[in-house]
Amino acid sequence: MCDACGCDLPIENSTDSKIIEVHQSLLKANTEMADLNRSHFRAMGTVVINLISSPGSGKTTLLEHTIEQLDPAIKIGVIEGDIETERDADRIRTKGVPVVQITTGGACHLDAAQIHKGLHRLQHEYDINSLDLLFIENVGNLVCPATFDLGEDIRVVLVSVPEGPDKPAKYPRAFLGSHAFIISKTDLLPYFDFPVAEARREALEINPKLEVMELSATTGDGFEQWLSYLRQLVQHQKTTNGEK
Partner 1 sequence: MHELSLVQSLMEQLQDLATENKATKIITVTMEIGPLAGVVIDSFEFAFEALAKDNPLTTKAKLVISKPAISYSCLDCQHVVDNCQERPSLCPACQAPHLYPDGGDQLILSRIEME
Phi and psi at 47, nearest 5°, equal -90, 125
In the bound complex, what is the minimum distance in angstroms from residue 206's beta carbon to partner 1?
A: 7
In the bound complex, what is the minimum distance in angstroms from residue 161's beta carbon to partner 1?
A: 24
In the complex with partner 1, the residue whose CB is nearer, 21 or 243, is 21
Q: Does 1 bind partner 1 (CB under 8 A)?
A: no
Interface with partner 1 by CB under 8 A: which range of 1-9, 69-77, 179-187, 198-206? 198-206
Query: Quick one: which of 173, 187, 200, 231 contacts partner 1 (CB under 8 A)?
Result: 173
Q: Does 27 bind partner 1 (CB under 8 A)?
A: yes
Sign of CA dihedral 199, 160, 99, 132: negative
Rg (CA), the chain: 23
185 sits in the region (left: phi over 0; alpha: psi -120 to 50; else beta) called left
Count CB-CB contacts under 10 A for residue 196. Answer: 14
Count CB-CB contacts under 10 A for residue 166. Answer: 13
- Those residues whose C-beta lies under 8 Å from the C-beta of residue 78, and which sit 6 or more positions away, are 63, 89, 92, 97, 98, 99, 100, 134, 135, 136, 137
Query: Quick one: which of 2, 25, 68, 124 contacts partner 1 (CB under 8 A)?
Result: 25
In the bound complex, what is the minimum distance in angstroms from residue 168's beta carbon to partner 1?
A: 12
Cα 233–chain centre separation: 15
Site for partner 1 in 64-83 (CB under 8 A): none
Count CB-CB contacts under 10 A for residue 28. Answer: 9
In the complex with partner 1, the residue whose CB is nearer, 18 or 244, is 18
In the bound complex, what is the minimum distance in angstroms from residue 208's beta carbon to partner 1?
A: 4
Interface with partner 1 by CB under 8 A: which range of 120-128, 142-150, 181-189, 221-229? 142-150
Site for partner 1 in 87-116 (CB under 8 A): 107-109, 111
Q: Does 29 bind partner 1 (CB under 8 A)?
A: yes
Structural contact between residues 114 and 58, judged by C-beta atoms closer than 8 angstroms: no
Count CB-CB contacts under 10 A for residue 36. Answer: 15
In the complex with partner 1, the residue whose CB is nearer, 30 or 184, is 30
Could you list the residues that contact partner 1 (CB under 8 A)? 14-30, 107-109, 111, 143-144, 146-148, 172-173, 176-177, 201, 204-209
